[in-house]
């Protein structure tokens, strides 16, 4: 049954979301194990790192000092480290001290403080410090404003703006306030023909921003999202806890096949947008908050705030290839995930080799607030017909019967569909229980069912289907 959301219901949901966010922001650090190492903005990489008074200074010091499996690395609260973090096999990373969570930034520098902006055309400013990897986004003043990236499409031969379709002639084509282009120079091969991808063939990496005045005078903070994972997982049994992870053009926490990855009590925001690759001249762009590409076991994302992500908030995914792939014991619990294209994305494609076995088992998505898909940075994709709060695509998505459960979540508003959940067999679909679905009047509820089949389309008349029993569906009618 489809009901009208009352102000009391919406206020209660908002209060619960705020309570959960406060709980996450005030969480204590882990109880450390093994040898404990400390990292402080006031530290020294030549110290032994084994006490706050002898802390290291940089996030990379662990590599030089042989931190090993079972050890713990603690970052001082209130500190900021730029350039990202390589999370080593079996190591826990968390926080010590008092104050706000320590910050790990992919952004190499604050463009309002470092370097200069030179006007090179009317209202077009070139940043003096080159950035070697594709910048996926620019955020200002702690995320208060965002610049839209001009990404080029070469499918028709000549480069055009991937959103507007207009021919692009370089920085002089920037006309709209707070749009930018990153000129990496170099050349792209399209159909055997080599094309220049920028004005600077040496690839010096200048960023050009359209702004009505000098950006460094207009904004107090300017952060770039270079093409990198802010936290790169480099082994099994990695625990990332109580960190704020920001400003990466690829993923916030990125991993290939892994066991025992746990991300808890973190804030992950302003992630994605860099070009991953071109297919027939069309750009495909990164970015997920937490991603495992490949098989996984004992994968947990719990009590995290994840927001302003170009693609997915959290995801496990794999397709192509001839290898086996198992996704077991996955937990996405008690998170607040907002302003992404997809809050939760998962897919498991069929192998190209029929002999290879692939399946998901024991997957739980529970107690999360999932909201506003296709809004904020989640509105950055040129195609507006993909956002969903839970997105499986129309992949094979083999799952052991009744071992995939989605329960007790609030799914609140999507610019397109609330959910897109499909599998090649009915018995592989997740079990839905105790969820609250809220959509604007006229908005789509989504898809749920065997793919492809017309019956998978959800509507007011289908919410009474037996598989939706125990879930509640609401619309917001502002009239």
User: When comparing pLDDT for 431 and 190, which is higher?
Assistant: 431
Q: Which of 123, 109, 249, 220 is nearest to 179 (CA)?
A: 123
| Residues counted in the chain | 479
Q: What is the pLDDT of residue 200?
A: 52
Burial (0-12, 13-18, 19+ Cβ within 10 Å), 467: middle
Contact 196, 50 (CB under 8 A): no
pLDDT in tens, 353-409: 888 999 999 999 999 999 999 999 999 888 888 999 999 999 999 999 899 999 999
pLDDT in tens, 213-271: 999 999 999 999 999 999 999 999 999 999 999 999 999 999 999 999 999 999 999 99
pLDDT in tens, 321-356: 999 999 999 999 999 999 999 999 999 999 998 889
Cα(308)–Cα(291) distance, integer angstroms:
15
Contact 92, 75 (CB under 8 A): no
**Gyration radius (Cα) of the chain, Å:** 23
Burial (0-12, 13-18, 19+ Cβ within 10 Å), 462: middle
Q: Sign of dihedral through CA atoms 409, 305, 227, 216?
A: positive
3-state class (DSSP) for residue 405: strand
| Strands 124-127 and 206-210, bridge-based pairing | antiparallel
**pLDDT beyond 60 at 191:** no
Question: Nearest 5°: phi and psi at 421?
Answer: -120, 115
Instruction: Give 444-468 as a DSSP string.
Output: EEEEEEESS-GGGEE-TTTTTSGGG
Q: What is the pLDDT of residue 186?
A: 58
pLDDT in tens, 264-321: 999 999 999 999 999 999 999 999 999 999 999 999 999 999 999 999 999 999 999 9
Q: How many CB atoms lie within 10 A of CB 452?
A: 10
Residue 417 corresponds to which tokens in the numbers above? 């569909």
The residues near 280 (Cβ < 8 Å, ≥ 6 apart) are 155, 190, 191
Residue 174 corresponds to which tokens in the numbers above? 């920037």
Residue 52 corresponds to which tokens in the numbers above? 């706050």
Q: Where residue 192 falls among pLDDT bands split at 50, 70, 90?
A: very low
DSSP state of 122: T
Cα(123)–Cα(176) distance, integer angstroms:
9
Instruction: Give 334-392 as a DSSP string.
Output: S-EEEEEEEEEEEEEPPPSSTT--EEEEEEEEES-EEEEETSGGGG-SS--S--EEEEE
């Amino acid at each position: 049954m489809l009901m009208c959301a009352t102000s009391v219901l919406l206020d209660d949901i908002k209060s619960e979301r705020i309570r959960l966010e406060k709980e996450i922001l005030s969480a204590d650090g882990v109880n450390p194990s093994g040898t404990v190492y400390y990292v402080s903005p006031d530290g020294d990489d030549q110290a032994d790192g084994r006490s706050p008074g002898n802390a290291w200074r940089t996030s990379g010091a662990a590599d030089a000092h042989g931190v090993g499996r079972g050890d713990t690395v603690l970052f001082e609260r209130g500190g900021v480290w730029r350039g990202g973090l390589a999370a080593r096999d079996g190591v826990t990373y968390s926080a010590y001290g008092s104050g706000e969570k320590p910050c790990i930034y992919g952004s190499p520098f604050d463009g309002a403080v470092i370097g200069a902006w030179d006007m090179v055309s009317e209202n077009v400013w070139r940043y003096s410090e080159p950035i070697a990897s594709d910048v996926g986004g620019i955020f200002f003043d702690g995320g208060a404003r965002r610049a839209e990236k001009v990404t080029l499409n070469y499918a028709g031969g000549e480069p055009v703006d991937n959103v507007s379709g207009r021919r692009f002639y370089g920085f002089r084509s920037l006309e709209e306030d707070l749009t930018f282009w990153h000129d990496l120079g170099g050349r792209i091969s399209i159909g055997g023909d080599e094309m220049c991808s920028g004005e600077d063939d040496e690839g010096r990496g200048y960023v050009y921003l359209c702004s009505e005045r000098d950006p460094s005078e207009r904004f107090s903070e300017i952060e770039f999202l270079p093409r990198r994972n802010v936290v790169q997982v480099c082994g099994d049994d990695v625990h990332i806890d109580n960190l704020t992870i920001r400003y990466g053009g690829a993923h916030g926490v990125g991993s290939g096949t892994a066991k025992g990855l746990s991300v808890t009590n973190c804030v992950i925001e302003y992630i994605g947008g860099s070009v991953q690759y071109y297919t027939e001249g069309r750009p495909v762009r990164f970015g997920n908050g937490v991603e495992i590409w490949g098989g996984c076991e004992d994968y947990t994302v719990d009590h995290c705030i994840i927001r302003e992500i170009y693609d997915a908030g959290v995801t496990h995914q794999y397709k192509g290839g001839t290898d086996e792939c198992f996704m077991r014991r996955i937990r996405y619990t008690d998170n607040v995930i907002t302003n992404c294209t997809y809050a939760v994305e998962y897919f498991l494609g069929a192998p190209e080799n029929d002999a290879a076995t692939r399946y998901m088992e024991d997957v739980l998505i529970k107690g999360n607030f999932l909201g506003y898909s296709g809004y904020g940075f989640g509105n950055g994709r040129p195609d507006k017909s993909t956002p969903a709060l839970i997105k499986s695509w129309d992949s094979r998505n083999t799952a052991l019967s009744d071992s995939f459960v989605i329960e007790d979540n609030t799914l609140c508003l999507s610019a397109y569909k609330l959910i897109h959940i499909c599998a090649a067999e009915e018995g592989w679909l997740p079990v839905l229980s105790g969820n609250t679905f809220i959509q604007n009047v006229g908005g789509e509820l989504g898809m749920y069912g065997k793919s492809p089949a017309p019956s998978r389309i959800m509507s007011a008349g289908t919410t009474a289907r037996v598989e939706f029993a125990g879930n509640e569906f609401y619309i917001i009618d502002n009239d």
